[in-house]
Amino acid sequence: MSTMKGVDGEFLGVGDKAGLDIWCIMGTNVVPIAKSLHGKFYTGNCYIILHTAEVKSGTRRHNVHYWIGEEAKEEDCLMASDKAIELDAALGSHAIQCRETQGEESDKFLSYFKPCIIPVQGSFSSHWRRSGDECDGTTMFRCEGEHVARLREVPFSRSSLDHKAAFIVDTPSKIFLFSGCNSCIQTRAMALDVIKHLRENRHCGRCEIGIIEDGKLASDSDAGEFWNLFGGYAPIPRDVPDAANGGPMTTSPKKLFWINKRILVPMETHVLEREMLKSDRSYILDCGTEIFLWIGMTTLVSEKKTSATALEEYVHLQGRSSIGRTVIMTEGHEIVDFKLHFQHWPKNVVQKLYEAGRQKVAAIFKHQGYDVAEIPDDKPRQLISSNGCLKVWLVDRGCVTLLCTEEQEQLYNGDCYIIQYSYAEDGKDYHLFLAWFGQDSVQEDRVATVSLMSSMADSVKGRAVVGQVLEGREPELFFLVFKSLIIFKGGRSTAYKNSILQKSNRTEQYQKDGAALFRVQGLRPDCIQAIQVHLAASSLNSSHCYILQDGASFFTWLGSLSSPSDHVLLDRMMDKLCPLKQSLLVREGSEPDRFWTTLGGRSEYSKEKCVKGWPTDPHLYTCTFQQCLFKAKEVFSFSQDDLATEETLILDCGEEIFVWVGLHSGVTSKEHALDFGKMFLQAGIARDGPRSINDTTVYAVAEGDEPAFFTSFFNWDSSKQAAAMLGNSFERKLAMLKGLSPKMETPDRSLRKSSSRRQEISSEPTTPEQQQQQPAAARRTFGSASAGRTARERLPPPSSAASASPATPSWSLKSRASSSPSTPATARRLFPSSSLHAPGTAAAHLPSPTAIGSPGRRR
């Protein structure tokens, strides 16, 4: 085997397969650990852990961790840091390295070993022949954490109990769970996962389970048996408040050092800039709760080891060997948390070498006379059924009007629309509602559209998902629900027309007999779009095909980098845009003068190949909004089991995010859920900065209503779908752990659709002065609902709406304000439904989008 200078031979060739590789430090050597022993760490040793993941770009992502047991020798700690550097060098010096200390492991590290890791006393060398997790006596563990279990063995004593955590007492014949009264539901549920692990691995699956709830001493045999283990019951003292929570949070000043032969040289600066970091040096950035080691790309392996040793010495000298977070990274592969500490950090420009390269290679072979077949584009995923029913409503003056079949495939960029796509999947009825905002649409219409869409989604039977889309940033899913789509410039809504009158420079609007330029695109032959763009030569692009209209004459323009499949789409769209019309075919470079005259003259335009980027790897975050502060925390190595019914989680897929709302979460409406998505984007979680809501599609998905285009990001098991299960996360897991059939209820969408949100809307301040007095957080959280109320105030009274022609039914924000105060509290959970209201109430008169008999046609 070939060797690499300064790199242990055990590390050569690793990291080519997804999964875990673990080595134990034994003197100056590393010993590979068998897969069957992964997750078993001895307190007297240090370990090297490599996690390899396949990412959607086709490459592999490596994360290196070195774990330090609480009884490990100092020389082993230094050796572990050196070996982590060697492993990174063997992988190409682009891995992130994290220092993990026993009891203070990062969530990412713990997520590799679900449900938990249980450190074993002693050292690996003295337990060579020991296998399994035999239970010799009684052990007691303290369990914390929500999506990963932080397990710590504590003395088997009553004094170890407290009210904040969950405690597991493992005896030879029975496992007890004691839930502190101040522990959260998710922690208790995680403790049940640990108990299941202990029962299977220590008791061969044959062991009783007892559940004890703090503060409840009813004649429970489990409780009596539990307290007898401690010599009888005695009250547990009150919890002592954490010092960290007892006073205001203080931010430690940042300290930057550059490493000169293991000597740390302070760098005096008030503001950190990227230019301060030199490629031939290494630096330590101490931010208080986290310490970073940045290594320049031109440093040698020996110099990197010296820097890692200096980091270990600094951590021990500061007395922080088991406190905080320590991360090592190489120049060019910095994590976001590190870059955020600098005033200005240039954004990385990712070159799509593979995609661009394959096109160039094909072009070279063609030029040399070889018969090269066209490289097929990646086929779009089948995200949604193609046999659904499409309906489109135009939003105007706080009301909606259903468009006829011919017009629903023609949108205007000055308007806002509500799109409903109803389809069946796996024997279930789904309804996808999308609020589409044209680029030139006005805020008044946008606000009303979201509010009206929520009302319409609340009234349908079946599983409803809502989304918010801006023109120009539509996801594939949006185009797939249309067979074909044409987007014109201009608008028909009153608010848009009024805004145009107030502008000095009039925007371009489509005229049937005028001049217009359309870019033609599509996902497949039966899914094509024509987008009207600015009438100028600068709008052209060699990668696309275009239709140029000049009165009654038409040109079809083929870009030099367009493909034969693009040409097929162009012909199909020409038949739809102007049927029975003949067009003049024009290839790039051979345009007649009239072509350029219609565009206003020649000018420069893009001639580079437009290449679709790799899809973004999804990330899952649990989100909370408390005390005017939005917080998000990543859930690593996520699975379907991480969708806890008490939480609101966000699945971030780059250009799309899904706000998943648990049945027992605090989110009370679809609008509220969409606002959560907006706050997530504005917070810039896991990004270099805030993201615009205009660049990202946001969906709101309720527990139990998950469509296939959401579940495709998980290894989804329909049998786990808890929409019809009663109870919280703990109660559901307990029922399954004890082998009981979970309590089920007939899925009744109305029990999960809140009417409390409507009461909140109607009780908001109605004057500008009161709006200013309202807390900023509340205005931000329910912003769309508040703005919806503003639009509602302009509507005519209900009697006027009732007298309208039956042939032109329309939705209005007025209809949403009514709510029955007698609605049971259990029914006021999530997403209102008209079925909650008694006949005769205002809500009962709302027409259902799926039951409109004679829709009003847009003239």
pLDDT tens per residue across span 53-91: 988 877 899 999 999 999 999 999 999 999 999 999 999
Q: What pLDDT is stored for residue 685 in this prediction?
A: 80
**More confident position, 289 or 834:** 289
Residues 786-802 have pLDDT tens digits of 333 333 333 333 333 33
pLDDT of residue 270: 83
Across the range 238-248, mean pLDDT stands at 60
**Residue found under tokens 């440093």:** 299
Beta strands 325-330 and 290-295 are: parallel
pTM for the model: 0.82
CATH of the domain at 186: 3.40.20.10
Residues 100, 52: one domain? yes
pLDDT confidence band for 381 (50 / 70 / 90): low
CA distance 38 to 112: 10
Residues 96 and 19 in one domain: yes
80 and 113 housed in the same domain: yes
pLDDT digits (tens, 9 = 90+) for 404-444: 998 999 999 999 999 999 999 888 999 999 999 999 999 99
Give residue 506's pLDDT: 66
Q: What confidence score (pLDDT) does residue 750 get?
A: 35
148 within domain boundaries: yes
Give the per-residue pLDDT at 449.
96
Which pLDDT score is estimated for 353?
Answer: 41
Lowest mean pLDDT among 250-264, 357-371, 672-686, 791-805: 791-805
Residue of 246, 256, 214 whose CA lies nearest to 233 = 214
Question: Is residue 496 a part of any domain in this protein?
Answer: no
Q: What is the pLDDT of residues 340-365, one digit of tens each?
A: 899 888 876 544 444 445 455 555 55
Last residue of a domain, one of 339, 364, 379: 339
At residue 126, the pLDDT reads 60
Q: Is residue 22 a part of any domain in this protein?
A: yes
The verdict on residue 446 lying in a domain is no
Average pLDDT over residues 263-291: 92
Residue 751 has pLDDT above 50, yes or no: no
Nearest Cα to Cα of residue 756 among 839, 676, 827: 827
**Which of 24, 81, 65, 75 lies closest to 309, judged by CA?**
81
Residue pointed to by tokens 């490629």: 279
> Which of 50-54, 438-442, 720-724 bottoms out in mean pLDDT, i.e. has the lowest?
720-724
Judged by DSSP in three states, 619 sits in strand
CB 118 within 8 A of CB 153: yes
The stretch 840-846 carries a mean pLDDT of 32
State the pLDDT confidence band at 276, using cuts at 50, 70 and 90.
Answer: very high
The pLDDT value recorded for residue 611 is 77
Reading the block at residue 636, the tokens are 């690593």
Q: What is the pLDDT of residue 738?
A: 81
The fraction of the chain above a pLDDT of 70, given in percent, is: 77
Does the residue 361 lie in any domain?
no
Longest CA–CA span in the chain (Å) reads 99
3-state helix, strand, coil in the chain (%, to 5): 30, 25, 45
Confidence band (pLDDT; 50, 70, 90) for 386? confident
Question: What pLDDT shows up at residue 604?
Answer: 94
* Cross-strand partners of 430: 423, 463
Question: In angstroms, how far is CA 168 from the centroid of its own chain?
Answer: 33
Compute the average pLDDT of residues 711-716: 92
- What total number of domains does the chain contain? 3
Which residue from 392, 402, 415 is spatially nearest to 494, judged by alpha carbons? 415
Q: What pLDDT score was predicted for residue 576?
A: 86
- Asked if the model's pLDDT at residue 483 lies above 90, the reply is no
Give the residue with greater pLDDT, 135 vs 374: 135
Cβ(65)–Cβ(38) under 8 Å?
Answer: no
Q: Tell me the per-residue pLDDT of 31-43, one tens digit each, with 9 for 90 and over.
A: 999 998 898 999 9
Q: Which of 128-142, 202-216, 498-512 has the highest mean pLDDT?
A: 202-216
Rounded to whole angstroms, the Cα distance separating 128 from 153 reads 22
Domain housing 159: 139-236
Domain shared by 209 and 281, yes or no: no
Where b means 16+ CB within 10 Å and e means fewer, 346-366 reads: eeeeeeeeeeeeeeeeeeeee
Mark whether 163 and 227 lie in a shared domain. yes
Rounded distance between C-alpha atoms, residue 403 and residue 208, angstroms: 63
Q: Residue 235's pLDDT is what?
A: 87
d(CA 485, CA 406): 11
Eight-class DSSP state of 746 = -
For the ranges 5-14, 207-216, 645-654, 844-853, the lowest mean pLDDT is seen at: 844-853
Please say whether the beta carbons of 650 and 677 come within 8 A.
yes
Mean pLDDT confidence for 844-856:
37
Q: Which of 354-358, 514-518, 591-595, 633-637 has the lowest mean pLDDT?
A: 354-358
Structural domain includes residue 24: yes
Considering the domain architecture, whether residues 123 and 25 belong to the same structural domain is answered as yes
Q: How confident is the model at residue 841 (pLDDT cuts 50, 70, 90)?
A: very low
The pLDDT assigned to 234 comes to: 85
Average pLDDT of span 518-545: 93
* Model confidence at 627: pLDDT above 70: yes
Model pLDDT, residue 110: 95
Q: Are residues 212 and 290 in the same domain?
A: no
Q: Pairing between strand 166-170 and 139-144?
A: antiparallel
278 and 323 housed in the same domain? yes
Q: Give the rounded distance of the alpha carbon of 768 from its chain centre.
A: 35
- Which pLDDT score, from 0 to 100, does residue 49 have? 96
- In what order do the strands lie in the sheet containing 139-144? 150-154, 139-144, 166-170, 174-179, 208-213
CB atoms within 10 A of CB 745: 10
Residue 434 falls in which region: left (phi positive, over 0), alpha (psi -120 to 50) or beta: beta
Q: In terms of pLDDT, which residue wins out, 446 or 322?
A: 446
**Mean per-residue pLDDT of the chain:** 80
User: Cα(477)–Cα(469) distance, rounded to whole angstroms?
Assistant: 11
Does 486 have pLDDT greater than 80?
A: yes
Task: Give DSSP secondary structure letters for 436-466.
Answer: EE-TT--HHHHHHHHHHHHHHHHHSSSEEEE
Structure tokens at 728: 């919280």
Residues 112 and 148 in one domain: no
Same domain, yes or no: 110 and 150: no
695 domain residue, yes or no: no
pLDDT band at 688 (very low <50, low <70, confident <90, very high): low
Examine the fold and report which residue of 62, 92, 127 is the final residue of a domain before the chain moves on.
127
Tell me: pLDDT of 166 over 90. Answer: yes
Percent pLDDT > 90 in the chain is 55
φ, ψ of residue 837 to 5 degrees: the values are -95, 145
The mean per-residue pLDDT over the stretch 369-385 comes to: 57
Task: Say yes or no to pLDDT of 858 above 80.
Answer: no
| Bridge partner residues of 68 (DSSP) | 46, 101
Average pLDDT over residues 131-150: 81
Q: What angle, 0 to 180 degrees and rounded to 10, lies between the N-to-C axes of helices 185-202 and 729-737? A: 20
Are residue 117 and residue 153 in the same domain, yes or no? no
Q: Which pLDDT score, from 0 to 100, does residue 318 have?
A: 85
The answer to whether residues 91 and 121 belong to one domain is: yes
Please give the average per-residue pLDDT across 803-814, as a whole number.
Answer: 38
SS (H, E, C) 686-729: CCCCCCCHHHCEEEEEECCCCCHHHHCCCCCCHHHCHHHECCCH
In a domain, 723, yes or no: no
- Contact indicator for 255, 291 with CB cutoff of 8 Å: no
Is residue 776 over pLDDT 90?
no
Domain final residue pick, 306, 339, 372: 339
